[in-house]
Amino acid sequence: MSAGATIGRVRNATYQFYRWRYESAFLVNLGLAGLFACLTGFGALIKIYLPWTPVPITGQVFFVLASAVVLGKHYGGLSQILYAFVGILGVPWFAGSNTSPEPIFAGLPGLYRGIGGFAILTGATFGYILGFIAAAFLIGWALDARVRYRRPAYLALLLVAGIGLVYLLGAIWFYAWWTTGFGVIASRGGLPLDSLLVKTVIPFVPLDLVKAAIVLGIGTVILPNRPFARERDAATGA
């Protein structure tokens, strides 16, 4: 079988999947969202804590981006809502901690137990979880709205924008946590912008861009280059 024929088969199979996803009942899509919620939770357990911030390097961003690419505008975001909701109820699959920003977890890289429960709401990292929800909705909405946004250049921009949104909400929440303590810990006082970025953004950029590149490669292969729903540019694909 030629390479062209193989690519054609893959394209047709992925198109059928997206068409099936679009036409499937709510419970089917809810199950898919639950699957990606679990994958995001698994990604939280693959983590490396850094000595200068309670925000760890994790595998979550990969699954957040993938959920948007695979599940689209409604259920990509819903998967991250489920991840947050179930974790708040007590499932220990959050990566962050409700500790002070000293390097309490330094020296514990790799797989480690997660945390769960309402404590995450007053912790340093909940802003990133809000960012996961927002990013998945944004990327998924764009990919379902227009065929052209599935092209590699547009998809790359969407993925980077999604990561940026995660960083933005994560940094805002972290700053509030640092300066107020949310009534749980004492305020640490002011936090200059450069220090904030070092604690919340800069260490995570290289690996997150690698994750985005992998999702870009996957998305380029599996995203349909023709309409499967009610895309706004369905008539032209342009």
**Burial letters for 95-115: b for 16+ Cβ neighbours within 10 Å, e otherwise?**
bbbbeebeeebeeeeeebebb
pLDDT digits (tens, 9 = 90+) for 171-225: 999 999 999 877 667 667 788 999 999 999 999 999 999 999 999 999 999 999 8
CA proximity to 98, closest of 115, 123, 118: 123
| Ordered alpha helix ranges (H), the chain | 3-23, 26-45, 60-89, 126-145, 152-180, 193-200, 205-222
Round to the nearest angstrom and report the end-to-end CA distance of the chain.
Answer: 31
Tell me the one-letter amino acid at 220: T
CA separation, residue 23 to residues 26, 196, 207 (Å): 9, 44, 35
Residue 67 pLDDT class (50, 70, 90 cuts): very high
How many residues would you count in the chain?
A: 238
pLDDT, one tens digit per residue, over 4-61 is 667 778 888 988 999 999 899 999 999 999 999 999 999 998 888 888 898 999 999 9
CB atoms within 10 A of CB 131: 25
- pLDDT at position 122: 85
Spatial CB neighbours of 13, under 8 Å, sequence gap ≥ 6: none
CB 55 within 8 A of CB 123: no
* Structure tokens given for 98: 């409700």
Q: Check whether 120 has a pLDDT greater than 90.
A: no
Q: At 92, phi and psi to the nearest 5?
A: -80, 70
Answer yes or no: are the C-beta atoms of 164 and 158 closer than 8 Å: no
- The owner of tokens 């599935």 is 150
Separation between Cα atoms, residue 202 and residue 167, nearest integer Å = 9
pLDDT band at 227 (very low <50, low <70, confident <90, very high): confident
Angle at 169 (CA atoms; ends 181, 165), nearest 5 degrees:
165
Answer for the pair 120, 126: CB distance below 8 angstroms, yes or no: yes
Q: Where are the domains of the chain?
A: 3-222
Describe the crossing of helices 60-89 and 152-180 by its angle, rounded to 10 degrees: 40
Pick the CATH number of 3-222 from 1.10.1760.20, 3.40.50.1100, 3.40.50.1370, 3.30.300.20: 1.10.1760.20
What pTM was computed for the model? 0.88
